[in-house]
Amino acid sequence: MTTPNTDQLVIVTGSSGLIGGRICERLKQQYTVVGLDIQKPESPVANVEYLDCDLTDDKSVDAALATVRNSHGRHVASVVHLAAYYDFAGEDSPLYHDLTVEGTRRMLRGLHAFDRVEQFVFSSSLLVMKPCEPGEKLTETSPARAEWQYPESKLAAEDVIRREAGAIPAVILRLAGVYDEYGHSLPITQNIRRIAEKEMESYFYPGDAERGQAFVHLDDLVDCFERTVQHRGDLDPFETFLIAEDECLSYESLQDLIGEELHGVDDWPTIRIPKVVAKAGAWVKDKAAASEQDRPFIKPWMVDMADAHYPVDNSKAQKRLAWVPKHRLSETLPKMLWHLKKNPRQWYELNHLPLPNKETLKELEQMSLKSEKQHA
């Protein structure tokens, strides 16, 4: 393999994660790629150089970037900054500040030691946006309003980029929830799990079930990052894009699709309940959990967001990045559920979900056998 010129160097932070690994795999075909992470991936991408880097530590960041300069020169085509802290538990953590916010600041300040950095791409979140009303769509000019610690930290990091980037052109990608054919999206897989196991919570919703949230397929997301790097010379010094599919399934539609695929019920009952009741129930279940593994996914703070509506107008990304998503959640969901039915144990483990009881697991395995007979 011919090594690309050093003026085509791309640095990827958070390179050991699912998204980081896929981006490294794609970009290495055109660029020299150096991945920075607190630990190397279990399955390293061939022809990608990995460096240990703790973004919460000044010396670690400075040392990693010094190694990059010594090995690859002082010209960087793009920095894809994915590293951040994320926890659905919704609890306070110093890592939101130390890693997501200050880690971004450390990276930018360290990059100023290079002669030229053509682009800094920040992986933000669609959740920094203020939800809109039915009939509307979010655009890059829509107002921001973070609802909890994770999007708050992303907004704070965006502000750091505005103040610290200096002459480095910056791109903010506000990403929708990411998924693929195996799941890899906690909100989606938890919803699937509740319906697969026929949990009581799967029949109740403390908000308007006609509202929903846009998502983006992992393959389309990787394509978006590639196009963002490719178009770095065509973009303004500071750009923001909303990255999501055109489709925004309502919570009710998502429930119906899952229920039909798993249980043959094309209209899964979804009963609206008062938020105060839902919050009380979530609090009781959380406190009654016998272990950390038994703690429920739904937390009281999530109930307040049940009416949030996040459909996206992605026309700016289509025009400026030539990016058009090729997948839709409604079309991928049957494939996701097929993998669940094909190998329930593997699917639960892959999505970091506790295995159901033996009776439910047996029922899921029987679905697999039934599915195989139908396709024989």
pLDDT in tens, 78-121: 999 999 999 866 678 999 999 999 999 999 999 999 999 999 99
In a domain, 62, yes or no: yes
Q: What is the pLDDT of residue 291?
A: 61
In a domain, 76, yes or no: yes
Domain boundary, last residue among 200, 223, 243: 243
Instruction: Write out the two tokens for 96.
Output: 């939101």
Q: Output 1 or 156, whichever has higher pLDDT.
A: 156
Residues 227 and 366 in one domain: no
Q: What is the pLDDT of residue 6?
A: 41
Domain boundary, last residue among 228, 243, 258: 243
In a domain, 108, yes or no: yes
Give the total number of structural domains in the chain. 2
Distances in whole angstroms, Cα of residue 342 to Cα of each of 52, 331, 334, 348, 373: 38, 18, 12, 12, 12
Report how far residue 180's alpha carbon sits from residue 189's, in angstroms, rounded to the nearest whole number.
11
Q: Please say if the pLDDT value at position 363 is more than 50.
A: yes
| Lowest pLDDT segment from 51-65, 76-90, 174-188, 241-255 | 76-90
Report which of 139, 135, 136 is spatially closest to residue 126, judged by C-alpha positions.
139
As a whole number, mean pLDDT of residues 262-279 equals 75
CB 290 within 8 A of CB 277: no
- Which amino acid is it at 61? V
Angle between helices 329-342 and 358-375 (to 10 degrees): 110
Report which of 76, 60, 80 is spatially closest to residue 19, judged by C-alpha positions.
80
As a whole number, mean pLDDT of residues 368-373 equals 59
Q: Please say if the pLDDT value at position 4 is more than 50.
A: no
In a domain, 162, yes or no: yes
Coil, strand or helix: which one is 33?
A: strand
Give the number of residues written for the chain: 376
In sequence order, the 6+-apart residues with CB closer than 8 A to the CB of 261 are 333, 334, 337
The chain-wide mean pLDDT, for the chain, equals: 90
In a domain, 63, yes or no: yes
As a whole number, mean pLDDT of residues 301-326 equals 90
Q: What is the pLDDT of residue 283?
A: 57
Report which of 95, 232, 214, 113 is spatially closest to residue 156, judged by C-alpha positions.
95
In sequence order, the 6+-apart residues with CB closer than 8 A to the CB of 197 are 356, 360
Report how far residue 46's alpha carbon sits from residue 43's, in angstroms, rounded to the nearest whole number.
9
Instruction: Specify the DSSP class assigned to residue 12.
Output: E
Instruction: Specify the DSSP class assigned to residue 3.
Output: P
Residues 59 and 100 in one domain: yes
Residues 51 and 89 in one domain: yes
pLDDT band at 372 (very low <50, low <70, confident <90, very high): low
Strands 170-175, 120-125: pairing kind: parallel
Report how far residue 358's alpha carbon sits from residue 363's, in angstroms, rounded to the nearest whole number.
9
Residues 45 and 85 in one domain: yes
- Give 212-262 pLDDT, tens digit per residue: 999 999 999 999 999 999 999 999 999 999 999 999 999 999 999 999 999
In a domain, 195, yes or no: yes
Would the CA dihedral through 125, 128, 129, 133 be positive or negative? Answer: positive
Report how far residue 210's alpha carbon sits from residue 203's, in angstroms, rounded to the nearest whole number.
15
Looking up residue 94, the CATH number of its domain turns out to be: 3.40.50.720
Residues 159 and 236 in one domain: yes
Q: Please say if the pLDDT value at position 129 is more than 80.
A: yes
Residues 71 and 112 in one domain: yes
Q: Please say if the pLDDT value at position 49 is more than 80.
A: yes
CB 51 within 8 A of CB 64: yes
pLDDT band at 1 (very low <50, low <70, confident <90, very high): very low
Q: Output 37 or 299, whichever has higher pLDDT.
A: 37
Report how far residue 208's alpha carbon sits from residue 204's, in angstroms, rounded to the nearest whole number.
11
Report which of 303, 299, 301, 307 is spatially closest to residue 282, judged by C-alpha positions.
299
Instruction: Specify the DSSP class assigned to residue 8.
Output: G
Residues 31 and 174 in one domain: yes
pTM of the prediction?
Answer: 0.92
pLDDT band at 193 (very low <50, low <70, confident <90, very high): very high
In a domain, 38, yes or no: yes
pLDDT band at 279 (very low <50, low <70, confident <90, very high): low
Q: Please say if the pLDDT value at position 7 is more than 60.
A: no
Residues 239 and 286 in one domain: no
Give the range with max mean pLDDT: 1-5, 50-54, 144-148, 307-311.
50-54
Residues 257 and 238 in one domain: no
Q: Please say if the pLDDT value at position 60 is more than 70.
A: yes
In a domain, 323, yes or no: no
Instruction: Write out the two tokens for 228.
Output: 């963002």
Q: Output 38 or 89, whichever has higher pLDDT.
A: 38
Residues 115 and 167 in one domain: yes
Q: Please say if the pLDDT value at position 373 is more than 60.
A: no
Report how far residue 207's alpha carbon sits from residue 275's, in angstroms, rounded to the nearest whole number.
7
Strand extents, DSSP E, 153-251:
170-175, 177-179, 204-205, 215-217, 238-243
Residues 56 and 141 in one domain: yes
pLDDT band at 285 (very low <50, low <70, confident <90, very high): low
Q: What is the pLDDT of residue 149?
A: 93
Residues 161 and 262 in one domain: no
In percent, the amount of the chain with pLDDT more than 70 equals 87
Structural domain of 303: 186-210+248-310+329-375
In percent, the amount of the chain with pLDDT more than 90 equals 73
Q: What is the pLDDT of residue 367?
A: 75
As a whole number, mean pLDDT of residues 341-370 equals 86
